[in-house]
Amino acid sequence: QVRRTTVPQIAQRKGGEPIVSLTSYHAHTAAIVDKHADFILVGDSLGMVMHGMESTVGVPLDLMIMHGKAVVRGTQKALIVVDMPFGTYEESPNIAFRNAARIMKETGCGAVKLEGGKRMAETIKFLTERGIPVMAHIGLTPQSSHVLGGFKTQGRDEDSWPLHEEDAKAVSEAGAFAIVLEGMVEPLAARITKQIDIPTIGIGASAECDGQILVLEDMLGLNPWTPKFVKVYGQLGPMIEQAVSDYAADVKSRAFPTEDEVYR
Protein backbone atom coordinates (compact mmCIF):
# COMPACT_ATOMS: atom_id res chain seq x y z
CA GLN A 1 0.00 0.00 0.00
CA VAL A 2 1.61 3.22 -1.24
CA ARG A 3 0.89 6.32 0.82
CA ARG A 4 -0.18 9.38 -1.08
CA THR A 5 1.78 12.60 -0.76
CA THR A 6 -0.04 14.84 1.70
CA VAL A 7 -0.71 18.56 1.67
CA PRO A 8 1.69 19.21 4.62
CA GLN A 9 4.40 17.25 2.80
CA ILE A 10 4.08 19.62 -0.18
CA ALA A 11 4.03 22.68 2.10
CA GLN A 12 7.20 21.48 3.86
CA ARG A 13 9.11 21.42 0.59
CA LYS A 14 9.44 25.22 0.68
CA GLY A 15 13.02 26.13 -0.22
CA GLY A 16 13.99 22.45 -0.52
CA GLU A 17 14.19 20.03 -3.42
CA PRO A 18 12.03 21.50 -6.23
CA ILE A 19 8.45 20.19 -6.37
CA VAL A 20 7.62 18.26 -9.56
CA SER A 21 4.16 18.62 -11.03
CA LEU A 22 2.22 18.14 -14.26
CA THR A 23 -1.40 18.30 -15.25
CA SER A 24 -3.31 15.16 -16.15
CA TYR A 25 -6.92 14.66 -17.10
CA HIS A 26 -7.38 10.93 -17.41
CA ALA A 27 -6.47 7.65 -15.76
CA HIS A 28 -3.94 6.33 -18.23
CA THR A 29 -1.56 9.32 -18.45
CA ALA A 30 -2.08 10.02 -14.75
CA ALA A 31 -0.71 6.54 -13.93
CA ILE A 32 2.48 7.41 -15.80
CA VAL A 33 2.83 10.88 -14.31
CA ASP A 34 2.17 9.41 -10.85
CA LYS A 35 5.56 7.68 -10.94
CA HIS A 36 7.45 10.97 -11.02
CA ALA A 37 5.27 13.85 -9.83
CA ASP A 38 4.74 15.09 -6.28
CA PHE A 39 1.31 16.37 -7.18
CA ILE A 40 -0.91 16.12 -10.24
CA LEU A 41 -3.23 18.95 -11.19
CA VAL A 42 -6.52 18.21 -12.91
CA GLY A 43 -6.46 21.67 -14.47
CA ASP A 44 -9.40 23.43 -16.05
CA SER A 45 -7.06 23.77 -19.05
CA LEU A 46 -8.73 20.46 -19.94
CA GLY A 47 -11.52 22.54 -21.47
CA MET A 48 -9.10 23.79 -24.10
CA VAL A 49 -6.73 20.82 -24.32
CA MET A 50 -9.25 17.95 -24.26
CA HIS A 51 -12.50 19.53 -25.31
CA GLY A 52 -11.51 22.16 -27.86
CA MET A 53 -12.90 25.15 -25.98
CA GLU A 54 -11.47 28.61 -26.65
CA SER A 55 -10.87 29.45 -23.02
CA THR A 56 -11.37 27.89 -19.60
CA VAL A 57 -14.36 30.11 -18.85
CA GLY A 58 -16.90 27.59 -20.15
CA VAL A 59 -15.68 24.57 -18.19
CA PRO A 60 -18.51 23.03 -16.11
CA LEU A 61 -18.04 21.71 -12.56
CA ASP A 62 -19.32 18.26 -13.57
CA LEU A 63 -16.59 17.97 -16.20
CA MET A 64 -13.88 18.75 -13.61
CA ILE A 65 -15.40 16.13 -11.31
CA MET A 66 -15.51 13.52 -14.08
CA HIS A 67 -11.84 14.01 -15.01
CA GLY A 68 -10.87 14.33 -11.33
CA LYS A 69 -12.38 10.90 -10.59
CA ALA A 70 -10.48 9.34 -13.49
CA VAL A 71 -7.16 10.77 -12.30
CA VAL A 72 -7.70 9.69 -8.68
CA ARG A 73 -8.55 6.15 -9.86
CA GLY A 74 -5.45 6.00 -12.06
CA THR A 75 -2.98 7.05 -9.35
CA GLN A 76 -1.67 5.91 -5.97
CA LYS A 77 1.17 8.18 -4.96
CA ALA A 78 0.79 11.80 -6.00
CA LEU A 79 -1.38 14.37 -4.27
CA ILE A 80 -4.29 15.13 -6.62
CA VAL A 81 -5.37 18.76 -6.90
CA VAL A 82 -8.51 19.66 -8.86
CA ASP A 83 -9.17 23.13 -10.31
CA MET A 84 -12.36 24.93 -9.34
CA PRO A 85 -13.82 26.18 -12.62
CA PHE A 86 -14.94 29.72 -13.37
CA GLY A 87 -18.19 30.68 -11.66
CA THR A 88 -18.09 28.06 -8.90
CA TYR A 89 -16.25 29.96 -6.15
CA GLU A 90 -15.97 33.73 -6.76
CA GLU A 91 -19.40 34.74 -5.50
CA SER A 92 -19.06 33.85 -1.84
CA PRO A 93 -17.14 31.64 0.57
CA ASN A 94 -20.33 29.61 1.14
CA ILE A 95 -20.82 28.82 -2.51
CA ALA A 96 -17.13 28.06 -2.87
CA PHE A 97 -17.34 25.65 0.07
CA ARG A 98 -20.37 23.86 -1.34
CA ASN A 99 -18.68 23.33 -4.72
CA ALA A 100 -15.24 22.49 -3.31
CA ALA A 101 -16.83 19.94 -0.98
CA ARG A 102 -18.55 18.32 -3.97
CA ILE A 103 -15.21 18.10 -5.78
CA MET A 104 -13.50 16.55 -2.74
CA LYS A 105 -16.31 14.09 -1.97
CA GLU A 106 -17.03 12.95 -5.51
CA THR A 107 -13.46 12.70 -6.82
CA GLY A 108 -11.50 11.73 -3.69
CA CYS A 109 -8.87 14.38 -4.49
CA GLY A 110 -6.72 15.90 -1.75
CA ALA A 111 -7.03 19.62 -2.49
CA VAL A 112 -8.57 22.21 -4.79
CA LYS A 113 -7.02 25.12 -6.67
CA LEU A 114 -8.63 28.46 -7.41
CA GLU A 115 -7.51 31.65 -9.16
CA GLY A 116 -7.10 35.04 -7.54
CA GLY A 117 -5.04 36.81 -4.88
CA LYS A 118 -6.24 39.27 -2.27
CA ARG A 119 -9.84 39.09 -3.46
CA MET A 120 -9.96 35.33 -2.77
CA ALA A 121 -8.18 35.44 0.61
CA GLU A 122 -11.39 35.34 2.67
CA THR A 123 -12.61 32.31 0.71
CA ILE A 124 -9.27 30.51 1.03
CA LYS A 125 -9.40 31.01 4.81
CA PHE A 126 -13.02 29.83 4.95
CA LEU A 127 -12.29 26.62 3.02
CA THR A 128 -9.03 25.81 4.80
CA GLU A 129 -10.55 26.26 8.26
CA ARG A 130 -13.28 23.82 7.25
CA GLY A 131 -11.04 21.03 5.98
CA ILE A 132 -10.47 21.87 2.34
CA PRO A 133 -6.81 22.52 1.45
CA VAL A 134 -6.43 25.25 -1.16
CA MET A 135 -3.71 25.89 -3.70
CA ALA A 136 -3.80 29.50 -4.91
CA HIS A 137 -2.98 30.75 -8.42
CA ILE A 138 -1.89 34.29 -9.29
CA GLY A 139 -0.16 36.21 -12.06
CA LEU A 140 -1.63 35.25 -15.40
CA THR A 141 -5.02 33.86 -14.39
CA PRO A 142 -6.70 32.41 -17.49
CA GLN A 143 -10.22 32.57 -16.03
CA SER A 144 -9.85 36.40 -16.01
CA SER A 145 -8.57 36.57 -19.59
CA HIS A 146 -11.62 38.58 -20.67
CA VAL A 147 -10.74 41.31 -18.15
CA LEU A 148 -6.99 41.14 -18.74
CA GLY A 149 -7.50 41.28 -22.53
CA GLY A 150 -5.95 37.91 -23.31
CA PHE A 151 -3.13 35.79 -21.98
CA LYS A 152 -0.41 38.27 -21.03
CA THR A 153 2.81 37.83 -19.10
CA GLN A 154 2.50 39.69 -15.81
CA GLY A 155 5.01 41.98 -14.10
CA ARG A 156 6.70 43.43 -17.17
CA ASP A 157 6.04 46.84 -15.63
CA GLU A 158 7.82 47.10 -12.28
CA ASP A 159 5.03 49.35 -10.97
CA SER A 160 2.74 46.32 -10.93
CA TRP A 161 5.00 44.27 -8.67
CA PRO A 162 3.57 45.47 -5.32
CA LEU A 163 0.06 44.34 -6.34
CA HIS A 164 1.27 40.83 -7.19
CA GLU A 165 3.32 40.71 -4.00
CA GLU A 166 0.26 41.71 -1.97
CA ASP A 167 -1.75 38.97 -3.68
CA ALA A 168 0.85 36.35 -2.81
CA LYS A 169 1.06 37.50 0.82
CA ALA A 170 -2.72 37.59 1.18
CA VAL A 171 -3.31 34.00 -0.01
CA SER A 172 -0.38 32.72 2.01
CA GLU A 173 -1.65 34.39 5.19
CA ALA A 174 -5.15 33.08 4.41
CA GLY A 175 -3.85 29.52 4.64
CA ALA A 176 -3.15 28.41 1.06
CA PHE A 177 -0.64 25.54 1.21
CA ALA A 178 1.07 26.44 -2.07
CA ILE A 179 0.66 28.94 -4.87
CA VAL A 180 0.92 28.71 -8.64
CA LEU A 181 2.72 31.67 -10.24
CA GLU A 182 1.74 31.72 -13.89
CA GLY A 183 3.17 33.85 -16.71
CA MET A 184 5.35 36.15 -14.65
CA VAL A 185 8.75 37.77 -15.22
CA GLU A 186 11.60 36.13 -13.33
CA PRO A 187 12.53 38.95 -10.88
CA LEU A 188 8.93 39.18 -9.66
CA ALA A 189 8.65 35.39 -9.21
CA ALA A 190 11.94 35.48 -7.30
CA ARG A 191 10.75 38.27 -5.00
CA ILE A 192 7.46 36.53 -4.25
CA THR A 193 9.19 33.21 -3.61
CA LYS A 194 11.46 34.91 -1.05
CA GLN A 195 8.65 36.87 0.60
CA ILE A 196 6.21 34.07 1.44
CA ASP A 197 6.69 30.85 3.37
CA ILE A 198 4.58 28.54 1.19
CA PRO A 199 6.01 26.89 -1.95
CA THR A 200 5.62 28.71 -5.25
CA ILE A 201 4.92 26.50 -8.26
CA GLY A 202 5.98 28.17 -11.49
CA ILE A 203 4.56 27.90 -14.99
CA GLY A 204 6.23 30.44 -17.21
CA ALA A 205 7.65 31.97 -14.04
CA SER A 206 11.34 30.90 -14.07
CA ALA A 207 13.46 28.45 -12.05
CA GLU A 208 13.31 30.81 -9.05
CA CYS A 209 10.12 29.07 -7.93
CA ASP A 210 10.00 26.21 -5.40
CA GLY A 211 8.59 23.87 -8.04
CA GLN A 212 7.40 23.66 -11.62
CA ILE A 213 4.22 22.63 -13.41
CA LEU A 214 3.47 22.21 -17.11
CA VAL A 215 0.44 21.09 -19.07
CA LEU A 216 1.27 17.47 -19.97
CA GLU A 217 0.02 17.71 -23.56
CA ASP A 218 2.20 20.80 -24.11
CA MET A 219 5.42 19.13 -22.96
CA LEU A 220 4.56 15.98 -24.92
CA GLY A 221 4.34 17.88 -28.20
CA LEU A 222 0.63 17.15 -28.66
CA ASN A 223 -0.21 20.72 -29.52
CA PRO A 224 0.76 22.24 -32.87
CA TRP A 225 1.97 25.39 -31.10
CA THR A 226 3.37 25.94 -27.60
CA PRO A 227 4.25 29.17 -25.80
CA LYS A 228 7.88 30.15 -25.08
CA PHE A 229 7.85 28.88 -21.50
CA VAL A 230 7.11 25.28 -22.53
CA LYS A 231 9.97 22.87 -23.11
CA VAL A 232 8.81 20.06 -25.37
CA TYR A 233 10.20 16.79 -23.93
CA GLY A 234 8.57 14.43 -26.40
CA GLN A 235 7.12 14.68 -29.90
CA LEU A 236 3.98 12.59 -29.41
CA GLY A 237 1.93 14.50 -31.99
CA PRO A 238 4.12 13.44 -34.92
CA MET A 239 4.40 9.90 -33.46
CA ILE A 240 0.64 9.50 -33.30
CA GLU A 241 0.24 10.89 -36.80
CA GLN A 242 2.81 8.40 -38.15
CA ALA A 243 1.08 5.47 -36.43
CA VAL A 244 -2.35 6.49 -37.71
CA SER A 245 -1.11 6.95 -41.28
CA ASP A 246 0.71 3.55 -41.20
CA TYR A 247 -2.52 1.94 -40.01
CA ALA A 248 -4.58 3.63 -42.72
CA ALA A 249 -2.15 2.45 -45.40
CA ASP A 250 -2.19 -1.13 -44.01
CA VAL A 251 -5.98 -1.27 -43.94
CA LYS A 252 -6.20 -0.10 -47.55
CA SER A 253 -3.56 -2.58 -48.75
CA ARG A 254 -4.99 -5.39 -46.57
CA ALA A 255 -1.60 -5.64 -44.85
CA PHE A 256 -3.59 -5.46 -41.60
CA PRO A 257 -4.85 -7.67 -40.04
CA THR A 258 -2.18 -10.34 -40.60
CA GLU A 259 -2.07 -14.01 -39.53
CA ASP A 260 -1.04 -12.85 -36.02
CA GLU A 261 -4.21 -10.86 -35.49
CA VAL A 262 -6.74 -13.33 -36.88
CA TYR A 263 -8.79 -15.95 -34.93
CA ARG A 264 -8.64 -19.39 -36.55
Nearer residue to ligand KIV within complex by CB, 87 or 256: 87
For 202-222, what is the HEC assignment?
A: EECCCCCCCEEEECHHHHCCC
> Which of ligand KIV, Na ion, none sits in contact with 34, Cβ below 5 to 8 A by type?
none
Nearer residue to Na ion within complex by CB, 46 or 255: 46
* Contact (Cβ atoms closer than 8 angstroms) between residue 37 and residue 76: no
DSSP 8-state symbol, 86: T
d(CA 168, CA 180): 10
φ, ψ of residue 97 in degrees (nearest 5) = -65, -45
43 lies in the site for Na ion, by CB under 5 A: yes
* Helix, strand, or coil (residue 179): strand
Please identify which residue in 7, 10, 13, 23 interacts with ligand KIV, judged by CB under 6 A: 23
217 lies in the site for Na ion, by CB under 5 A: no
d(CA 84, CA 124): 12
d(CA 255, CA 92): 61
The answer on whether 44 is annotated among ligand-binding residues is: yes
d(CA 197, CA 124): 16
List 184's β-bridge partners, or say none.
154
Q: How near is the Cβ of 204 to ligand KIV at its closest, in Å?
A: 9
> Is 241 tagged catalytic?
no
The answer on whether 172 is annotated among ligand-binding residues is: no
Q: Which amino acid is at 104?
A: M
d(CA 46, CA 227): 17
| Residue window 146-185: x/- pattern of binding to ligand KIV, with contact defined by CB under 6 A | ----------------------------------x-x---
109 lies in the site for ligand KIV, by CB under 6 A: no
* Contact (Cβ atoms closer than 8 angstroms) between residue 98 and residue 149: no
* Contact (Cβ atoms closer than 8 angstroms) between residue 14 and residue 210: yes
> Which of Na ion, ligand KIV, none sits in contact with 85, Cβ below 5 to 8 A by type?
none
Position of minimal CB gap to ligand KIV: 43
Nearer residue to ligand KIV within complex by CB, 56 or 172: 56
Q: Which of these segments, 66-74, 80-88, 152-160, 194-202, binds Na ion (CB under 5 A)?
A: 80-88
List contacts with ligand KIV (CB under 6 A). Answer: 23, 41, 43-45, 83, 180, 182, 203, 213, 215
Binding site for Mg(2+), by residue number, is 44, 83, 115
List contacts with Na ion (CB under 5 A). Answer: 43-44, 83
Q: Which residues are catalytic?
A: 182
Binding site for 3-methyl-2-oxobutanoate, by residue number, is 44-45, 83, 113
